[in-house]
Amino acid sequence: MASALENFVNSVRTHSSSGLFEDLATHLLECDELLNKNWSILDNVLETLNVSQHSLGVLYVLVAKFNCAANLNLDADAIFTLFKDFIEQCDVYQVQLAAHVYYELCHLCIYALNVLAAAINQIRSSESQLTPIHADLCKLSLKSKCFKVALKYLDTDITSITTASETRVHKPDPNGDAEYFLLYYYYGGMIYTAVKNFERALYFFEACISTPAMAMSYIMLEAYKKFILVSLILHGKIVPIPKYSSQVISRFMKPIAQVYHAVAIAYATASSEELRAVINKFSETFLRDNNMGLVKQVATSLYKKNIQRLTKTFLTLSLSDVASRVQLPTAALAEKYILKMIKSGEIYASINQKDGMVIFKDDPEKYNSSEMFLKIQQDMDKTMNLIKKINVMEEDIILNPMYVKKAIGSQDEDITSQQAKPYSCDPID
């Protein structure tokens, strides 16, 4: 083993045995180049270190090793085993001192959902804290089409964020932190769309596109396209974007996403034929954006919305009339749509198979059952808990020294500008 690496190992072992982990974390910032140069003999270093006792040193070695995996001809199984063993055995306090390196390691090892979930649980301080690893977990969930593990994290509302820039790193990369933040909400929206939870999907896409920005992000642009389509499926129109959103959306995203606005315009006419014409016209764009499946769901939702409109006008209607009015090709297809909508609770109706008539009914829910009372009580409890969280977060912001300094600075600027304001005329006059 080269003498420089021997010094590295001795430093790690000495600092760790003395409990000087903060000093070790600072020292290791200078060791990246050394480890990368000696990538061919890093296995020897790993053999001399214990994962639980020397977590900081092993962390840096693994990142250097995985960055050079192509040179080492390491297969995925070998990388996965090393990564899994480290996550299971590492000391949490030590890796928190080099969280930016820990995140980098996870970004390099997007292999197993359960291991990434364990990595998140190791580093976060609470269940509602977002880490850069969340985006990796969602990405792997989409690739594997296995959403159960990711949904456990997505269903928890985020109240705090941990970033790589918060740790002792020489050159913080806030753009990298922003990327993983945006990807989490973008991938999360895609997962919720895949499981047909459109309300939650819309919220995630909205969070992505309303993130403060000085320039357009490709992630935000793709989220905006899906935001439009999910809005149409859920509400039949494009939901207004929050007022606090960046001007980037109106200046750049809307012009680039004109094709999707054309879909919304056609949707507003309630004409399925016109909507299909727009979809066929821009099919290449939708295929290139990998949004054709979602666009087809938009077309399907228009049929459903038109059927729902009929329930407000008619008490009974034949299946053939329904098909004609909503522009479906056959009465059998209209029956299929109606049965699905009855099953999902989107409409209340029954079909007389003998004469092919549809009887539309009112909502049978009287809102006076014990189950409904319990649901209302649970919703009220959730609302009260949310208010408490908002109050705590507001107090933290008000007491934050950076906020106080900025607020006082703004007030001083306002006072100065008012004092320096010139008169428009001679006060003697």
- Calculate mean pLDDT across residues 76-82: 85
Q: pLDDT of 268-321, one tens digit each?
A: 999 999 999 999 999 999 999 999 999 999 999 999 999 999 999 999 999 999
- Whether 428 has a pLDDT exceeding 50, the answer reads no
pTM of the model: 0.86
Instruction: Output the CA angle 140-143-144, nearest 5 degrees.
Output: 85
Predicted pLDDT of residue 413? 59
- Whether 369 has a pLDDT exceeding 50, the answer reads yes
Amino acid identity, position 166: E
Order of strands, sheet of 357-360, starting from the edge strand that comes earlier in the sequence: 316-318, 357-360, 349-352
- Whether 67 has a pLDDT exceeding 90, the answer reads no
Domain boundaries, the chain: 1-124, 314-376
What is the DSSP pairing of strand 160-161 with strand 316-318? unpaired
Q: pLDDT of 370-393, one tens digit each?
A: 888 899 999 999 999 989 988 988
Q: pLDDT of 144-188, one tens digit each?
A: 999 999 999 999 999 889 876 666 544 556 566 889 999 999 999
* Rounded CA separation 65/82 (Å): 10
Amino acid identity, position 303: Y
Q: pLDDT of 28-38, one tens digit each?
A: 998 888 888 88
* 289 sits in which H/E element: none
DSSP 8-state class, residue 249? I
- Calculate mean pLDDT across residues 86-106: 93
State phi, psi for 304 to the nearest 5 degrees.
Answer: -65, -40
CATH class of residue range 314-376: mainly alpha
Could you give the 3-state DSSP secondary structure of residue 29?
coil
